[in-house]
């Protein structure tokens, strides 16, 4: 892995949605960003069985959005949380940005006491399944993967502090 210099991460808001959508144009095969993303972040669009708490993070390679992730608490499939969006712009792939975004979301889930996390894998994306399984997700059904305990993605020192929350 070859980390990209100068990439910074922060929580995203609805004000980032336009730049997020623009970043996605770099990958026509991935398709456009979900037009419901602003409503999702504002809490007016709810994926199936979603609960209100949700969060998004962006990776910024100034001035561009290099990648983003979002997730929410859920009751779907007996999970505590769901990864809703994940995308890294093609020119930034395989440099650890997706992994860092996933770790940030994992930490947020753990802070909410949400440990069993699922994701609906994009079957048309050649990178999605290897990325998630490489991070320890296992089969839930034909479309979905699950982490029985998302804290396995966190550094052991941080994991200890979050146990039992
Ligand atoms: C999936 C995605 C977010 C990964 O982002 P990324 O920044 O490239 O991921 P990382 O660099 O952190 O990759 C970590 C590991 O995942 C695995 N991985 C990532 N892309 C892979 C690919 N195309 N093929 C095989 N393994 C892959 C590798 O094990 C990789 O480690 P390595 O580079 O040391 O071999 C990115 O490819 C993407 O945006 N794809 C299109 C959108 C998408 O599929 N989103 C998920 C929807 S469910």
Ligand 1 pocket: which of 98, 101, 117, 130 to mutate (most atoms <8 Å of CB)?
98
Residue 140 CA to residue 46 CA, distance in Å, equals 22
pLDDT at 107: 98
Residue 62 CA to residue 151 CA, distance in Å, equals 30
Residue 87 CA to residue 27 CA, distance in Å, equals 10
Helix/strand/coil for 145: strand
Structural domains for the chain: 7-162 (3.40.630.30)
Chain segment 108-154, per-residue pLDDT in tens: 999 999 999 999 999 999 999 999 999 999 999 999 999 999 999 99
Ligand 1 pocket: which of 119, 127, 128 to mutate (most atoms <8 Å of CB)?
127
Beta pairing class for 117-120 and 8-11: unpaired
pLDDT at 58: 98
pLDDT at 66 over 70: yes
- Ligand 1 centroid to 147 CA: how many Å? 17
Chain segment 28-51, per-residue pLDDT in tens: 999 999 999 999 999 999 999 999
pLDDT at 160 over 70: no
pLDDT at 45: 95
Contacts of 65 (CB under 8 A, 6+ apart): 16, 19, 20, 22, 23, 58, 59, 89
- Ligand 1 centroid to 164 CA: how many Å? 31
């Amino acid at each position: 892995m070859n980390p990209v210099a100068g990439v910074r991460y922060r929580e995203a808001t609805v004000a980032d949605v336009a730049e997020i959508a623009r970043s996605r144009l770099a990958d026509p095969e991935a398709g456009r960003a979900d037009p419901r993303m602003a409503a999702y972040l504002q809490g007016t669009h709810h994926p199936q069985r979603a609960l209100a708490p949700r969060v998004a993070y962006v990776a910024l390679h100034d001035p561009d959005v290099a990648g983003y992730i979002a997730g929410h608490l859920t009751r779907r499939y007996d999970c505590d949380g769901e990864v809703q969006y994940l995308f890294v712009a093609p020119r930034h792939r395989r440099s650890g940005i997706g992994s860092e975004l996933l770790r940030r979301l994992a930490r947020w889930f753990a802070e909410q006491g949400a440990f069993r996390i699922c994701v609906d894998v994009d079957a048309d994306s050649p990178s999605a399944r290897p990325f998630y399984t490489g991070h320890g997700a296992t089969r839930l059904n034909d479309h979905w993967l699950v982490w029985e305990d998302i804290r396995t993605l966190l550094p052991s020192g941080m994991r200890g502090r979050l146990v039992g929350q």
